[in-house]
Amino acid sequence: MGIQRMRWLTVLLAVALVLGLLAGCAPKKPAEPAKPAEPQQPAQPQQPQGLSGSIQIAGSTSVQPLSEELAKAFMTKNPGVTINVAGGGSGAGIKAAQNGTADIGASSRALKPEEKGTVVEHQIATDGIAVVVHPSNKVDGLTLAQVKDIFTGKITNWKQVGGKDAPITVFRREDGSGTLGAFTELVLGEGTKITDKALQQNSNGAMRTAVAGDPNAIGFLSFGYLNNEVKAVKIEGVEATVDNVKAGKYKLSRPFLYLTQKQPEGVVKAYIDFVLSPEGQQIVGKEYITVK
Amino acid sequence: MRRAVFERGSEVALFLAALIAVVIIVLIGTFILIEGLPAFERTGLLNFLLGHEWRPLQGVFGIFPMIVGSIAVTAVALAVGVPLGLATAIFLAEIAPPRAERLVRPAVELLAGIPSVVYGLFGMTMLVPIIRALAQTWLGASLDPQFRAGYSVLAAGLVLAIMILPTIINIAEDVLRAQPLEYKEGSLALGATHWQTIACVLLPAARPGIVAAIVLAMGRAIGETMAVIMVAGNTPVLPQSLFSPVRTLTSNIALEMPYAGPGAHSQALYATGVVLFGLTMVVNLAALLVSRRRVKRG
């Protein structure tokens, strides 16, 4: 009997341990790319003392991680301020700003003509997406249509786009990823399905490692994760560089917008000013393209 | 008198400590069930379990490919890991000279202590390229082009096979050593060789314990997440061969939870957790039944 009881406990413990393993799989943040420490910014203009209040941010899930970083930094500087960052999607963010249900609506796409003027726009960052292949791949450039055909499974061999005779290994991000969302929107068009055979990686870092390891691979990365392990191909003949994005030549980019119902005031203004300040833009610059 | 109180007190304290495990498991079970139930209601239990398509952004939730995926990688892991682990256990229990034992045992213990993400790295940088090379050269002609990337059922199964070795070796060795000496003496006295004794007397006698070891290893393989994500390719499609990319139940949750929007998508992931919880329960109950039988027979 004693032994049996012990076994019960053992099994329960085993179950608890298995569950413990699951618990270990809590959300991970993508690793930040290593960057040389930037020189300290010159002294900031003094923030108004004793700022207090709360800010509600809602909208794009792509902007969400950046908003969280920025909000954290702002709240550290101003302990009296609480900022809540919620998701919901760009559409919801624009609506929230129009109705004033959130102080700031976040959008990761440009406003449509009919939406222009209904809210005040503040562009806080630009996100560029690079289509990457293995460095040994002799394909240097693709058209948007070719990229689309590769990811939807119409083109399956590199020789169809001027490369060697080898099957293309397509890598994509998991459903829900903002990078996947932007890629879908910019390249495939809403509702188009990526081929079922695409392999999935769950972070920019894992994507880079996977493409770097497979000579026949193709994938896509946020600009912040590009390095010499992978080759970014030209899109429509334009190189994937920050300058080309800023000049509007590179097509796979999108703005990150903060939207407010009226000209921002008080604590909301202080926060947006902070985001656009050199200090805020330095946070933006870790993974995205700054606006200044 | 005081001594009796102290005795009683410490017994109660120990009981409470043990009770925590029970409470935690009930809490976790209830929690994921509550979070996951809406997904079952929305999709329908059968559609959720047997649906072949997983397109969370379009509201299509079918986890059948993941259930099959979990079973497939576990099967590969057991097919490779069990013979290897059993052989090692027999070697340690019966054959190993002390010097060999001093080499093998710490290695096995070390194997148990390596974090799973390190196994994943190993798989990603060593196994996947080897399997890719195999798939592209030897088997190239016979495989679908998309199955030549190396990220596969085989890669995940092999990594898991290594990871379950310590479980199998440790338990199986203990069981072999726990067999009454008379069995062995009797067999040898009848003129059987050492190997005949091992194969025809010790192993059959130890079978229930060995089965328990296998079942526990199975639980470990089903539950493993990180290492599998790194080598499996994670495509939510029914695997068609050893070289197909595959997504397991655990990977499904860990992959998509970080960005899953509130509502249908995350509920479907919790529901995946419920299924996984059920599956692990079944495996552990099986282990319990098997080890019970052993107690009775012993």
Which chain A residues are closer than 8 Å to B284 by Cβ? Answer: 11, 14-15, 18
A25 close to B (CB below 8 A): yes
| Residue to substitute from A5, A21, A218, interface B, most B β-carbons within 10 A | A21
- Looking at per-residue pLDDT, the higher value among A204 and B112 belongs to B112
pLDDT interval class at A276 (50, 70, 90) = very high
A31 vs B: CB within 8 A: no
Shortest Cα–Cα distance, A200 to chain B (Å): 5
Is the pTM higher than 0.90? The answer reads no
| Stretch A56-76: mean pLDDT | 89
Contact A22, B225 (CB under 8 A): yes
Between B2 and B37, name the one with better pLDDT: B37
Query: Does the distance separating the beta carbons of B235 and A198 come in below 8 Å?
Result: yes
pLDDT (0 to 100) of residue A151: 95
Identify the pLDDT of residue B287: 77
A167: nearest CB among B146, B253, B287: B146
Q: Which of A184-193, A195-204, B214-223 has the lowest mean pLDDT?
A: A184-193
Q: In this predicted model, what pLDDT tens digit does every residue of A80-110 receive, in sequence order?
A: 999 998 877 778 888 899 999 999 999 888 8
Q: Which residue of B has its CA nearest to A194?
A: B55
| Residue A37: predicted pLDDT | 45
Say if the Cβ atoms of B288 and A87 lie within 8 Å. Answer: no
Residue A11, sorted as left (phi over 0), alpha (psi -120 to 50) or beta, turns out to be: alpha
> CB-based contacts of B217: which residues, under 8 Å, 6+ apart?
B77, B78, B81, B82, B85, B164, B167, B168
Contact B259 A61 (CB under 8 A): yes
On chain A, the residues whose CB falls within 8 A of the CB of B124 are 209, 213
Query: Which of the residues A177, A199, A222 would you substitute to probe the B interface, choosing the one with the greatest number of B C-beta atoms within 10 Å?
Result: A199
> Residue B241 belongs to what domain range?
19-27+29-297
**How high is the pLDDT of residue A191?**
72
The CA distance from B254 to B245, in Å, is: 17
Note the pLDDT of residue A5.
55
Residue A254 parent element (H or E): strand A253-260
Tell me: pLDDT of A27 over 70. no
User: Computed from CA positions of residues A95, A279, A66, A147, in that sequence, does the dihedral angle turn out positive or negative?
Assistant: positive
pLDDT digits (tens, 9 = 90+) for A197-256: 899 988 888 899 899 988 999 999 988 788 899 999 999 999 998 889 888 899 898 889
Angle of CA points B125, B128, B129, to nearest 5°: 75
Sign of the C-alpha dihedral, residues A16, A21, A22, A23? positive
Residue A289 carries which DSSP code? B
- Show the tokens assigned to B124: 């990603």
Contacts of B60 in chain A (CB under 8 A): none
A22–B253 CB contact, under 8 Å: yes
C-beta atoms of A199 and B224 within 8 A: no
Residue B39 lies in a domain: yes
Across-strand partners of A235? A142, A238
Residue pair A81/A55 in contact by the 8 Å Cβ criterion: yes
DSSP H helices, chain A, are 2-23, 64-77, 90-99, 144-152, 178-183, 204-213, 242-246, 266-276, 278-285
Per-residue confidence band for B127, with pLDDT thresholds at 50, 70 and 90: very high
Determine whether the interchain pair A15/B146 forms a contact, defined as Cβ–Cβ distance below 8 Å: no
pLDDT at residue A63, as a whole number = 87
Whether A28 and B258 lie within 8 Å, measured CB to CB: yes
Report the gap between the CA of B4 and the closest CA in chain A (Å): 22
- The model's pLDDT over B39-66, given as tens digits with 9 standing for 90+, comes to 999 999 999 999 999 988 788 999 999 9
Length of chain B: 298
Identity of the residue numbered A63: V
B174-196: per-residue pLDDT in tens?
Answer: 999 999 999 999 999 999 999 99
Instruction: Report yes or no on B1 lying in a domain.
Output: no
Nearest to B78 by CA among B149, B167, B152, B148: B167
pLDDT in tens, A108-127: 888 888 888 899 999 999 98
CB atoms within 10 A of CB A114: 7
**Angle at alpha carbon of residue B85, lines to A19 and B74, rounded to 5°:** 45
Size of interface A-B (CB pairs under 8 A): 136
| B226 half-sphere exposure, CB direction, 13 A CA radius | 18
Nearest residue to B76 (alpha-carbon basis) of B271, B212, B243: B243
pLDDT (average), residues B5-13:
91
Residue A41 exposed, middle or buried by CB count within 10 Å (0-12, 13-18, 19+): exposed
Answer yes or no: is B5 within a domain.
no
Residues B70-108: pLDDT tens digits? 999 999 999 999 999 999 999 999 999 999 999 999 999
SS3 content of chain B, % helix, strand, coil (to 5): 80, 0, 15
What pLDDT, on the 0 to 100 scale, is given for residue A43?
A: 45
Q: Give pLDDT, residue A16.
A: 55
% of residues, chain A, pLDDT over 90: 45
Number of domains in chain B: 1
| pLDDT of res. A1 | 42
CB distance A173 to A280 below 8 Å? no
Q: Rounded to an integer, what distance in angstroms lies between the CA atom of residue A239 and that of residue A241?
A: 6
CATH at B186: 1.10.3720.10
Confidence of residue B258 (pLDDT cuts 50, 70, 90): confident
Query: B227-257, pLDDT tens digit by residue?
Result: 999 999 999 999 988 999 999 999 999 988 8
Taking all residues of chain A, what is their mean pLDDT, rounded to a whole number?
82
User: How many Å apart are CA B148 and CA B71, to the nearest integer?
Assistant: 22
For residue B47, give both structure tokens.
């559609």
pLDDT of residue A44: 47
ipTM surpasses 0.85? no
pLDDT at A54: 92
In chain B, whose CA is at the least distance from the CA of A178?
B259
* Cβ–Cβ < 8 Å for A182, A62: yes
State whether residue A18 sits within 8 Å of chain B by CB.
yes
Nearest-10 crossing angle of helices B153-177, B128-136: 120
Inter-chain contact A11–B284, Cβ cutoff 8 Å? yes
- State whether residue A283 sits within 8 Å of chain B by CB: no
The answer to whether position B14 is within a domain reads no
Tokens of A224: 């912040």
